[in-house]
Structure 1
Amino acid sequence: MKPHRTDHFPHFGGQTMISLPIQLIGLDLDGTLLGTDSCVHARERDTLQRARQAGVSVAITTGRSLLDALPHAEAAGGVDWLITENGARITSASGETIFRHPLTKRHTAQLLQLCERHGVEPSLYGEDCVWYGAACRGFFRAVSRILGRDIPLDLRHYTFVTSRKEWHALSGQLLYKAVVYGDTHKLDAWLSELRRTAQYEAEPSVFCGLKNIEINAAGTDKGSALLYLTKHLGLSREQVMACGDSDNDRTMLSAAGLGVAMGNAPQHIRAQADAVTESNENHGVSRAVERFVLQNV
């Protein structure tokens, strides 16, 4: 178990001990590196590039697809690694995939059967495409109404699915992740049955009061992927810092030698972390990198 650190931003009360200089930074996107406008701000870009120039590797670590993450990597001035689909894939800046943990054909077929049984619908994340249906489209339209603005979505690599036959044909594709949408009560019943199979990682998520469930193959999570990358780079976990704000970041915050929660994270995420930085709107990532990385290089 990691020793609990007492340094909580913005008060900087006490000292957080760094036993080895940080050489790898894992960063969630939504609610962490990205502001509430879903953009990388200039201060974050400049701070990350200073860290990279000092020889520190930066890895985006997100539930998004690789193609969704790449524009944000570019907006950040470039990163060294992308851990995507909640840890199901690790890709270098040059495009080399060094790790894959996809859903199997049997996993996908079973997931689709359960969705039919409970009246819910998935979106499926493939190698270079995301397949989605009416439930996903309805979810984001509802989010737009709640926020009073459009949600920026690049649909160039998205394919709309309209029939049962089309969904089941996708079970033969290389798929990294599913996100399931539907009525809350139906989702709860679906999730209960899915978990009884013990074959999946299932993480419920609530966005603007609307629920969805992220699904990966069992054993897939951001923390495991970050540790794989750590070993690949010849580093120890004490040389890794991770920043996140959500439930799917918990394994990453635990895996890293220094887990930093965003100030906008829920209380149970902040309680788990070694340190708490400011919010994503108040440059929490930059403040953490400046304090724990750049002061020690």
Structure 2
Amino acid sequence: MLVKGVSTITKKLIALDLDGTTLNNDGQISARTKATLNQAIKAGCVVSLVTGRPNRISENFYDELHLNSPMINFNGNLGILPHQNWPREYQYTIDKEIVMELLGKSKQLGLSLIAVEGRDLFLANKGIKSGFGFFPSTLKTNQILSQKSLQDNPISITVEVKPELKAGLIDFVEKQFGDQVEVSPWGGPHPIVEIATKGVHKSTGLKFLADYYGILQQDIIAFGDEDNDRTMMSYAGKSVAMKNAIPSIKALANDVTTYTNEEDGVARYLQAHLDLAVSQ
């Protein structure tokens, strides 16, 4: 991939969701996307990953793109400079006693997996073999969740629940802990529910980035495809839904890409709308 030249554009904050947006269906970043984002940075834009993923499975993409901007993880609950101790780092955590309550009632609530995470924390009651890549299939001894092993409040609780009991779980959490946390079912086919601090979303992280760089809302471009991108896209001056996005996100967005995540939709959109001179 050859880059023809670098144009100068108004400084933009380009906020990128990962899965279904920047990543293709194989979970990879294409050469065209890498070159385009590199060109945007050279032209004066800030490119930042704003993802639901934990940092443990997104820092590799951060490094692959050679970014030096803060990264937002856990749907806005963690903001870090990867590989560094950064004074501006933030995190929102939830009371570990909520984890113990769920663990104690796991059979009654139909929970087959309970995983808790933080920036440097991962514990689970078991490995998961369903193959969608977010959790290890086998656990090390020091990764097994128990009252003894969970010493710190986590950022996120993720549970796998029997599909027919999902509504009951959500109702239980909202009634018992609704003043502290909120529940977000994952998109897609997996019966996964995530529990995190109430009122914190991707827009929390996006506002943090905009304030840090002194970038106006009108100069934010946010790309997304799923329901957890909703607040980020509502906050951005320009929200761009992927062609493969769910209908409600397309309806919310200012624009929709002509191409899917599998077809370099983000890269092609930025090339066209920011006049980035990138060619293969």
Query: Normalised by the shorter chain, which TM-score bucket?
Result: 0.7 to 0.9
**Counterpart in the other structure of 2:64:** 75
Quickly say closer, same or farther: Cα 1:154–1:188, change in 2 above 3 A: closer
Deviation sequence 1:143-194 (CA, Å, 0-9, x none):
5xxxxxxx5x68599656897xx43335432411121102112222111111
Instruction: Please report how far the alpha carbon of residue 236 of structure 1 lies from its aligned counterpart in structure 2 after TM superposition.
Output: 1.5
SS of the equivalent of 2:240 reads strand
Counterpart AA for 2:128: R
Quickly say closer, same or farther: Cα 1:77–1:187, change in 2 above 3 A: same
**Counterpart in the other structure of 2:186:** 205
C-alpha separation in 2, matches of 1:132 and 1:174? 14
SS of the equivalent of 2:14 reads strand
Quickly say closer, same or farther: Cα 1:46–1:162, change in 2 above 3 A: closer
Structure with greater helix percent: 1
C-alpha separation in 1, matches of 2:54 and 2:140? 14
Equivalent pair of 2:122/2:143 in contact (CA under 8 Å) = no
Quickly say closer, same or farther: Cα 1:79–1:261, change in 2 above 3 A: farther
Quickly say closer, same or farther: Cα 1:200–1:170, change in 2 above 3 A: farther
**Counterpart in the other structure of 2:146:** 167
Where in structure 2 are the equivalents of 1:35-74 lying within 5 Å?
A: 35-74=24-63
Instruction: Please report how far the alpha carbon of residue 91 of structure 1 lies from its aligned counterpart in structure 2 after TM superposition.
Output: 1.1
Instruction: Please report how far the alpha carbon of residue 46 of structure 1 lies from its aligned counterpart in structure 2 after TM superposition.
Output: 0.4
**Counterpart in the other structure of 2:3:** none
C-alpha separation in 2, matches of 1:218 and 1:247? 16
C-alpha separation in 1, matches of 2:201 and 2:143? 30
Equivalent pair of 2:161/2:193 in contact (CA under 8 Å) = no
**Counterpart in the other structure of 1:9:** none
RMSD value over aligned CA atoms? 2.6
TM-score by length of 2: 0.83
Match of 2:210 among 230, 239, 244: 230
Instruction: Please report how far the alpha carbon of residue 127 of structure 1 lies from its aligned counterpart in structure 2 after TM superposition.
Output: 2.2
Gap runs ≥5 in structure 1: 1-19, 144-150
SS of the equivalent of 1:55 reads coil
C-alpha separation in 2, matches of 1:107 and 1:219? 17
Match of 1:98 among 71, 89, 107: 89
Counterpart AA for 2:224: G
Deviation sequence 1:81-106 (CA, Å, 0-9, x none):
21001111111256225221122334
TM-score by length of 1: 0.79
Match of 1:178 among 157, 171, 174: 157
Instruction: Please report how far the alpha carbon of residue 131 of structure 1 lies from its aligned counterpart in structure 2 after TM superposition.
Output: 1.9
C-alpha separation in 1, matches of 2:51 and 2:138? 18
Equivalent pair of 1:115/1:190 in contact (CA under 8 Å) = no
Match of 1:89 among 57, 78, 81: 78
Quickly say closer, same or farther: Cα 1:90–1:271, change in 2 above 3 A: same
Aligned length: 262
**Counterpart in the other structure of 1:124:** 116
Gap runs ≥5 in structure 2: 1-8
Counterpart AA for 2:58: A
Equivalent pair of 1:22/1:292 in contact (CA under 8 Å) = no
**Quick one: percent identity of the two aligned structures?**
26
C-alpha separation in 2, matches of 1:243 and 1:269? 10
C-alpha separation in 1, matches of 2:123 and 2:76? 19
Quickly say closer, same or farther: Cα 1:242–1:157, change in 2 above 3 A: farther
